[in-house]
Amino acid sequence: MKRRSERGGEAAARPDGSQGKGLGGAAAGALQPAAGGLLAYLQKFKIKRLLLDLFILYASVPFVIRLFPSLLRKFVYLNFLSYPFGVDFQKPEVYLNHTVNFYLTPEPGVTYGVWHSLPDSRRKEAEGKDPSWHEEALADDNPVILYLHGNGGNRAMSHRVRMAKVMSDADFHVLAIDYRGYGDSTGDPSETGFTTDVLFLYHWVKARSGNSTVIVWGHSLGTGIATNVARALKEKEGVTVDAVILEAPFTNIREAAATIPVTKIYRKFPGFEYLILDTMARADMYFYSDRNVQVLSSPILMLHSEDDGIIPITHSRKLFEIARNTSQKKDAIRFLSFPASEGYGHDHLSSNPELPDIVKNFLQSIK
């Protein structure tokens, strides 16, 4: 009887010494593959949903831009990215200790800020002087640069500060403007508004600079503003700007939008030209440098780095050919490229130690 009781036990030993699973163990084993399959399904579903959401977002952007051109203006101008943040624009000495800040009002409701960096030869003399002295200094025969920056940020951005320092160290006056809507300037950004702002600054400088050479120098987006200003002066006032320098220029904003890296993912999108490129005009953005240079009689120097990852150097080459072919003074149209090995990219041509001499030699050659 003892032997039968042992054989009839609930967990009787098997000949190989193992224990039986029982009903509970079998059920648990059956649930494990089922639970694993459910988790795999849910993960796969989440991935598919994520990919679908990304595709919907990607596909909707061109249509949203077409319906709301004002969004495209914000993206192009990027004035809301006022970097560096927390700048006290009334204390430019934090960035450039030979610089003064002032404001101009080109029209009611718009006031913009300007930093005036003095030439190296005038700095010691400037100590303790009031703003009127700095205005009078513009007539000291040192060349004056009106520096028109690109999109995004403000006049305190490091590469803009470096440009002002490099050129003022070389005995140039440098006036760096934050157009309406940028930095601490009031008003809303627009192409016509930018032109108005710079025209006002140009006349303000000319009224104080005597016989000093005044150069309109644009970088990136600022090159489009520079040629707009030079053309407006030529056609509306019969004024020829002493010199125009275009750093990393583009032919026009439509062609620039077709080649900048950020639009690469949309270039094969059905309706890319209609939905995005054509919307530039609906947003009142043109910046027709390729048309403007055809009517200018000002000497023009174009500068571009071969490794520019924002605006391809092909824009400069095309713009140079247009300007040179239509100019009556072909020797006054110059183009200088910088090798990719130097690594200047889009923003750092001022790192080239020869830049001041390049500009001085250009100005000397056009006298």
Burial string for 94-114 (b: 16+ CB within 10 Å, else e) reads: ebbebbbbeeeebeeebebbb
Backbone angles phi, psi at 136, to 5 degrees: -65, -30
Cα(243)–Cα(269) distance, integer angstroms:
41
Q: Which residues pair with 266 in a beta bridge?
A: none
Polymer length of the chain: 367
Which is catalytic among the residues 149, 212, 346, 350? 346
- Catalytic site residue 308? yes
Q: Strand 110-117 relative to strand 144-148: parallel, antiparallel, unpaired?
A: unpaired
Catalytic residue among 178, 197, 290, 308: 308
Assess contact for 173 and 137: CB atoms under 8 A: yes
The DSSP-derived string for 182-230 is: STT--S---HHHHHHHHHHHHHHHHTT-TT--EEEEEETHHHHHHHHHH
Catalytic residue among 220, 289, 327, 350: 220
Please say if 16 is a catalytic residue: no
- Is residue 220 part of the annotated active site? The answer reads yes
> Is the separation of the CB atoms in 223 and 217 below 8 Å?
no
Which are the catalytic amino acids? 220, 308, 346
